[in-house]
């Protein structure tokens, strides 16, 4: 059963990303502030939900949240700053778009994913110098404290809600660009490194949506 909040029921936001391991398409992050009384028995980590359930939850989260934001970071920027830093930056930007401003931030991630003070000031990390956090570590971005929670999307409602929005918005994006390049079958594989996707890259080459810093072929 998901918990309603980590530390405070007052304007706590959860954030998560989708598409980190893909060969094509953006990395997408979402941040969500849920009301303290929010309940939905369907809500869970988006990876544990069917597409049908995720699509059912999306409008519920959008309509009932206090605030939410979704950010896509494109392959060009992923290639410039690496996927880890791009994931962090996307989460950071989604949080900065929230209105009202959150009082506390909980981030889905393990020890290699953390929101760093340098990114929160708007600087771009160009080297893999991200500070490592454990589940209980906490730092501040100005006056907003945050924690990184291992498997947070299966523990807390706001992170689970963010995971659903990140996944559904990214899937929608991949379905759209599939129409432009149907030979890669992004509508089905969503840009992940399936055998079919890698073979299509071998046959047709790369597109503007592929991440050139990734190993794209077998």
Q: State the binding site.
A: 16-17, 108
Write the DSSP string, 157-214. HHHHHHHHHHHHHHHHHHHHHHTT-GGG-HHHHTT---HHHHHHHHHH---TTB-TTS
Q: 205 burial class (0-12, 13-18, 19+ CB within 10 angstroms)? A: exposed
Report the binding-site residues for a divalent metal cation: 16-17, 108
What strands, in cross-sheet order, belong to the sheet with 12-18?
67-73, 27-33, 12-18, 104-108, 144-149, 138-141
Using alpha carbons, list the distances in angstroms from residue 23 to 76, 133, 136, 159: 12, 27, 32, 24
């Amino acid at each position: 059963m998901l918990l309603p909040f980590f530390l405070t029921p007052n304007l706590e936001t959860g954030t998560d990303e989708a598409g980190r391991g893909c060969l094509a398409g953006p990395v997408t992050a979402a941040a969500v502030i849920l009301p303290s009384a929010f309940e939905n028995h369907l809500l869970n980590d988006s990876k544990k939900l069917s597409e049908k359930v995720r699509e059912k939850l999306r409008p519920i989260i959008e309509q009932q949240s206090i605030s939410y934001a979704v950010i896509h970071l494109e392959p060009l920027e992923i290639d410039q700053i690496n996927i880890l830093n791009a994931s962090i930056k996307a989460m950071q930007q989604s949080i900065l778009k929230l209105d009202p401003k959150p009082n506390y931030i909980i981030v889905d991630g393990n020890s290699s994913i953390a929101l760093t003070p340098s990114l929160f000031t708007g600087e771009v990390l160009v080297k893999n110098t991200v500070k490592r956090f454990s589940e209980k570590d906490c730092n501040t971005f100005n006056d907003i404290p945050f924690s990184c929670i291992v498997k947070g999307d299966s523990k807390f409602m706001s992170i689970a809600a963010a995971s659903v929005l990140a996944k559904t918005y990214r899937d929608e994006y991949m379905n759209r660009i599939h129409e432009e390049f149907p030979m890669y079958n992004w509508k089905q594989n969503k840009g992940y490194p399936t055998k079919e996707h890698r073979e299509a890259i071998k046959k047709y080459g790369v597109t503007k949506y592929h991440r050139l810093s990734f190993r794209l072929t077998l």
